[in-house]
Structure 1
Amino acid sequence: MAGASLLVLFDDIASVLDDVASMTNLAAKKTAGVLGDDLALNAEQVSGVRASRELPIVWAVAMGSFKNKLILVPLALALSAFAPVLIMPLLMLGGAYLCFEGFEKLAHKYLHSAAEDQAEHDDLVQALAHEEVDMLAFEKDKIKGAIRTDFVLSGEIIIITLGTVAGAAFSRQVVVLSAIAIIMTVGVYGLVGLIVKLDDIGLYLKTKKGSAALRGLRHSVGDALLAFAPKLMRALTVIGTIAMFMVGGGILTHGIPAVHHFIENSALAVASVAGVGALLAALTPSLLNAIAGVIAGAIVLVAVTLLQRIYGVFKSKPA
């Protein structure tokens, strides 16, 4: 009897772990857009600092990210327990923010003058030219800015994850949210640390001594890494932006039944195309979600820009 009870307990535990793993996997897929953007943004945060300080800065931001999630996860669980009706509005708000952020990147050159970009570049050059005490202050500003950015992105990740597990038992919500918080933080900042050191690894391989054949191989690999590192940064930015539209648009369309059904019906309609129906059916929802994300991002950006201008007009008026 005791043995049978133990087997039932093991079966229950295995079932729970399987469910948790499935929900964690689903949540990770849904937060992919934020993850790509998180990678690109955090890798960019260490631009302009000395090579010897890159990893310490990444570590400092990673610790700040853990602290952010220690605040966000309990808040999300409290929201699920006491105000679950707010989950969908917050998801929609997070989706709209993702679309806005993605479209703002596309429209950056039209929203920011060349003078503003040049001023930012000059500030960076000036900071690098100063003594170590100024450099330390510059690093602190970088870290604070990165942690603030992480708080927003982490909030999006947690809310999206919460929406994924909203119907699950509270204990499973705790496990999945905690797992996503840990996996995303370790994964993002581990990859950021690797990305920002790719060029240093390339330089190390080019200067490493050895036999002629081995030295030639190392130099080739080093040259490849030095050429690959900046391209990877650019690719991460592009992929992250596309993913933001797909994920943000997907959240918004899922929350609007008419649009959600239209996308489902469109996928079913193209599935009957001979030869490529299955591929088109798989790609159509992502494409339509991305288009919806671009449209939503443009609408939000226009609204935000108008509000900023109206606020500026009122602020400039004499009291």
Structure 2
Amino acid sequence: MAGGLVALLDDVAALVKVTAASLDDIALGAAKASTKAVGVVIDDAAVTPQYVDGLSPQRELKVVWKIAVGSIRNKLLFILPLALVLSQFAPWALTPILMLGGCYLVFEGAEKILEAVGLIGHHGGEATEVRDEKSIIRAAVRTDLVLSAEIMVISLNEVAHESFINRTLILIAVAIGMTIAVYGAVGLIVKMDDIGLHLAQRKSKFSQAFGRGLVKGMPLVMSFLSKVGVIAMLWVGGHLLLVGLDELGWHAPYGFVHHLEEMVVHATGSFGAFLGWCVNTALSCVAGLIIGSGITGIVMGIGKLRKKH
């Protein structure tokens, strides 16, 4: 009896060791996958604050929370199952899906730039003065869907060698971790002026000065982030389209970008990697703006035809 109990305890100890090792593998895989997708996470954090810009302070965190819930729903209920199934049975379909998402992003970014420079007029939706909360959340969640898809697909590529179960658990960890990181940062950004107001009312002169600085500076930060968000849409969308075309067999556009990137890397020494990334990003933005402007023209043309008929 005692021998059987000892054997059972040995089995339990072995199972615990295997489970711990598996959890370590999942944590390591999630960290590795997240590192590769960090650029898109920054884009997501830059894009989102523009949706709550101009809302009353009482609504800001509520809207951010609803967008975050929509984001985690995008990742876990739609993107994750689709990505796992396609990676298992039709890996060729991931690239066209990402390219469709890229088209949506460059359309959004180019439309905002064309409106800002006066080439096209403002239209309904988020651009109107009366900002409907449901419309704001829907628009933010739609944009998040594309950015989340890229985060998940990049992460999936990094752990493609793992078993199906490990891949699933790693991607769940990435989805939850990335959502907390992005929307935690967004919530902090949008409430920074309220934090500044609270500090300005304290007795410490340093706290008062720092708080007043936050209150005065946050409108500029929000304005800057809204512009960065538009550029991020063009950058991420343009990059998705260039890489997608390359993977589908049209190598010339991304080959040109990659060639210039390598030239800069080799010519500039220790700063080469950063400057090469800047070249790749700038050209992706240009490509995104060109393609997005074309899509905007097509959408506006279809809209005019529909009005006539």
The answer to whether the superposition gives a TM-score over 0.5 is: yes
- When the two chains are superposed, the root-mean-square deviation of aligned CA atoms in Å is 3.5
Q: Deviations over 1:85-106 (max 9, x none)?
A: 1012223333343333333332
Q: Give the drift of 1:220.
A: 0.2
Cα 1:56–1:91, aligned 2, differ >3 Å: closer, same or farther? closer
Cα 1:47–1:245, aligned 2, differ >3 Å: closer, same or farther? closer
Say whether the 8 Å CA contact 1:46–1:57 is kept in structure 2.
yes
Say whether the 8 Å CA contact 1:99–1:249 is kept in structure 2.
yes
Match of 1:113, SS state, is coil
Q: Give the drift of 1:190.
A: 1.2
Deviates more, 1:5-14 or 1:165-174: 5-14
Q: Aligned to 2:38, which of 10, 15, 28?
A: 28
| Structure 2 match to 1:297 | 289
Q: Which runs of 5+ in 2 are unaligned?
A: 1-9
| Structure 2 match to 1:127 | none
Q: Give the drift of 1:148.
A: 4.1
Aligned length: 290
Say whether the 8 Å CA contact 2:47–2:232 is kept in structure 1.
no
| Structure 2 match to 1:60 | 66
Q: Aligned to 1:250, which of 239, 243, 246?
A: 239
| Structure 2 match to 1:113 | 121
Cα 1:266–1:111, aligned 2, differ >3 Å: closer, same or farther? closer
**1:283-294 correspondence to structure 2 within 5 Å:** 283-294=275-286
Q: Deviations over 1:195-237 (max 9, x none)?
A: 12111111112223x3xxx2x2122011110122112212222
Q: Give the drift of 1:7.
A: 12
1:279 is the counterpart of 2:268: no
Q: Give the drift of 1:182.
A: 0.9
**1:43-58 correspondence to structure 2 within 5 Å:** 43-58=49-64
| Structure 1 match to 2:189 | 195
Q: Deviations over 1:110-131 (max 9, x none)?
A: 354369799822x35xxxxxxx
User: What is the rounded CA distance, in whole Å, between the counterparts of 1:87 and 1:60 in structure 2?
Assistant: 28
Q: Give the drift of 1:291.
A: 1.4
Say whether the 8 Å CA contact 2:196–2:213 is kept in structure 1.
yes
Cα 1:139–1:316, aligned 2, differ >3 Å: closer, same or farther? same
Kindly report structure 1 stretches of 4+ aligned residues shifted beyond 4 Å. Answer: 5-17, 114-119, 163-168
Say whether the 8 Å CA contact 2:98–2:146 is kept in structure 1.
no
Q: Give the drift of 1:270.
A: 3.7
User: What is the rounded CA distance, in whole Å, between the counterparts of 1:15 and 1:156 in structure 2?
Assistant: 23
Match of 2:179, as an amino acid? Answer: T
Cα 1:200–1:310, aligned 2, differ >3 Å: closer, same or farther? closer
Cα 1:6–1:229, aligned 2, differ >3 Å: closer, same or farther? same
Q: Give the drift of 1:168.
A: 4.7
Q: Give the drift of 1:8.
A: 9.5
Say whether the 8 Å CA contact 1:42–1:192 is kept in structure 2.
yes
User: What is the rounded CA distance, in whole Å, between the counterparts of 2:159 and 2:119 in structure 1?
Assistant: 38
Cα 1:88–1:56, aligned 2, differ >3 Å: closer, same or farther? closer
Q: Aligned to 1:170, which of 154, 164, 171?
A: 164
Match of 2:272, as an amino acid? Answer: L
Match of 1:107, SS state, is helix
Q: Give the drift of 1:187.
A: 1.5
Q: Aligned to 2:304, which of 303, 307, 312?
A: 312
Match of 1:280, SS state, is helix
Cα 1:247–1:64, aligned 2, differ >3 Å: closer, same or farther? closer
